[in-house]
């Protein structure tokens, strides 16, 4: 094998993030369906769970999780092509947007996929089964889709979407779309003239679910056409920024965060900070109840276990109950590390931006154990003093 293989499916949220990086960096790769026998027989046992995407390198190494995939690929890029900004504010904001894209936008992404059956279901049923059961007969494909959709529908509720609150979730998503559309009228990518992990983080939900599924795709095209164009741009193998003329392939000058991006950060503060605080508290409470946990232990005992109970928080004036996802502790730790990676002066600059947007609590929240990753699995990090408001 002389090129990379991305084990995936077109409808996969996180696969959209990895695929976008491979395409925009013109990395030679081929996609293979996660329903193929080789994936089940060889890849899944090596990874320890059925999960996508998985990147298989030309040397045969398997890398699971989009963050790890991009980290591995980006290590071979020159600084001017790196997905990681070099300046403090851009780096921290990029990590924040990656966190919000991959975790905070799950709620509208799952809602708009699974709660609009009249429009979406004819497409989804064929799209899912074509990849999960390639070459199978119609009855088998139907059964495979029924199993997959049942699992995903229960996950939709786990992100806090109920019949009573669905309308407010939709209004919140539309607010987000309009803010992002305005910002993307000023620059081709979130931080200027080239994509960063901020863009790749947003691509997960904004491509596979919200730009590709029938119902939300029309909504995006009608209400946020610049966001739609950005999705096209993020799937292109060239720069695809013609409407911006000779826009330089550089990030915003002087580590600046322009007003349109500050407005988007303010939205994220209102939408996501309380939820992350509740997630951190819930994880820390669980750890307090389980002092037997040791450094390097697989989170929750099995790689396939992704959640631990529920937590309730105030979402825009309404109580919302969601599933607790320890993986987010890894993503939050990456944000902490990025904010502190440029020294005291850099942290001071980052803190000023986060305070102005109402995001500064995220720079302090910490459970007594972070989540780390080792051998394609989430594991518990060393014990330390928790930093929480009780």
Q: Which helix (H) or strand (E) holds 373?
A: strand 369-374
* Residues 209 and 140 reside in one and the same domain: yes
* Residues 127 and 100 reside in one and the same domain: yes
390 is a domain residue = no
Tell me if residue 110 falls in helix, strand or coil: helix
Q: Is the peptide bond before 342 cis (omega within 30 degrees of 0)?
A: no
* Residues 115 and 250 reside in one and the same domain: yes
* Residues 335 and 231 reside in one and the same domain: no
Q: Of 15, 48, 81, which marks where a domain is finished?
A: 81
* Residues 222 and 273 reside in one and the same domain: no
For 305, phi then psi, to 5°, come to -85, 115
373 is a domain residue = yes
Strands (E), 36-152: 54-56, 62-64
- pLDDT by residue for the chain (390 residues), tens only, comes to 469 999 999 999 999 999 999 999 999 999 999 999 999 999 999 999 999 999 999 999 999 999 999 999 999 999 999 999 999 999 999 999 999 999 999 999 999 999 999 999 999 988 888 888 787 788 887 787 777 777 777 777 789 999 999 999 999 999 999 999 999 999 999 999 999 999 999 999 999 999 999 999 999 999 999 999 999 999 999 999 999 999 999 999 999 999 999 999 999 999 999 999 999 999 999 999 999 999 999 999 999 898 999 999 999 999 999 999 999 999 999 999 999 999 999 999 999 999 999 999 999 999 999 999 999 999 999 998 877 765
Residues of the domain holding 140: 88-255
* Residues 234 and 100 reside in one and the same domain: yes
Six-digit token pair at 343? 């020294």
CA 38 from centre of chain: 27
* Residues 103 and 214 reside in one and the same domain: yes
> Domain holding 8: CATH number?
3.40.30.10
Q: What is the rounded distance in angstroms from the CA atom of residue 295 to the CA atom of residue 88?
A: 30
Domain count, the chain: 3
Predicted local distance difference test score (pLDDT) of residue 157: 76
Predicted local distance difference test score (pLDDT) of residue 156: 74
Predicted local distance difference test score (pLDDT) of residue 369: 97
Q: What is the rounded distance in angstroms from the CA atom of residue 190 to the CA atom of residue 177?
A: 13
Candidates 112, 90, 66, 105; CA nearest to 268 is 105
Predicted local distance difference test score (pLDDT) of residue 389: 63
76 is a domain residue = yes
Candidates 262, 232, 109, 102; CA nearest to 172 is 109
* Residues 237 and 269 reside in one and the same domain: no
Question: In Å, how far are 146, 172, 210, 231, 234 from 113, measured between CA atoms?
Answer: 14, 16, 8, 17, 21
Predicted local distance difference test score (pLDDT) of residue 41: 95
Question: In Å, how far are 138, 192, 319, 357, 379 from 323, measured between CA atoms?
Answer: 34, 34, 14, 26, 19
* Residues 275 and 373 reside in one and the same domain: yes
Question: In Å, how far are 308, 380, 385 from 292, measured between CA atoms?
Answer: 16, 12, 16
């Amino acid at each position: 094998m002389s090129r990379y293989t991305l084990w995936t499916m077109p409808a996969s949220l996180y696969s959209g993030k990895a695929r976008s990086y491979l395409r925009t960096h013109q990395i030679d790769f081929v996609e293979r369906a996660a329903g193929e026998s080789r994936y089940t027989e060889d890849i899944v046992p090596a990874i320890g769970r059925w999960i996508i995407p998985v990147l298989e390198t030309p040397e045969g190494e398997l890398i699971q999780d989009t963050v790890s995939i991009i980290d591995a690929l980006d290590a071979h890029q020159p600084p001017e092509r790196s997905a990681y900004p070099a300046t403090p504010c851009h780096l921290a904001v990029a990590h924040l947007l990656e966190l919000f894209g991959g975790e905070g936008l799950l709620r509208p992404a799952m809602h708009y996929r699974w709660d609009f059956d009249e429009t979406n279901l004819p497409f989804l049923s064929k799209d899912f089964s074509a990849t999960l059961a390639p070459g199978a007969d119609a009855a088998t494909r139907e059964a495979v889709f029924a199993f997959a959709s049942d699992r995903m529908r229960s996950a939709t509720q786990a992100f806090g979407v109920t019949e009573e609150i669905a309308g407010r979730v939709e209004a919140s998503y539309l607010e987000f779309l309009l803010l992002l559309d305005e910002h993307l009228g000023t620059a081709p990518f979130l931080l200027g003239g080239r994509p960063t992990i901020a863009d790749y983080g947003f691509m997960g939900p904004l491509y596979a679910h919200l730009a590709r599924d029938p119902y939300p795709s029309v909504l995006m095209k009608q209400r946020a056409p610049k966001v739609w164009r950005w999705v096209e741009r993020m799937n292109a193998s060239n720069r695809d920024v013609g409407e911006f003329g000779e826009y330089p392939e550089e990030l915003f000058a002087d580590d600046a965060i322009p007003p349109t991006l500050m407005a988007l950060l303010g939205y994220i503060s209102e939408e996501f900070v309380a939820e992350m605080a509740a997630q951190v508290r819930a994880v820390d409470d669980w750890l307090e109840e389980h002092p037997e946990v040791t450094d390097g232990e697989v989170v929750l005992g099995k790689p396939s276990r992704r959640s631990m109970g529920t937590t309730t928080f105030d979402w825009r004036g309404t109580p919302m109950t969601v599933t607790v996802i320890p993986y987010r502790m890894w993503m939050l730790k990456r944000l902490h590390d990025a904010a502190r990676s440029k020294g005291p002066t850099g942290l001071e600059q980052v803190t000023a931006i986060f305070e102005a947007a109402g995001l500064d609590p995220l720079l302090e929240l910490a459970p007594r154990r972070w989540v780390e990753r080792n051998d394609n699995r989430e594991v518990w990090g060393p014990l330390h003093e928790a930093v929480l408001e009780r």
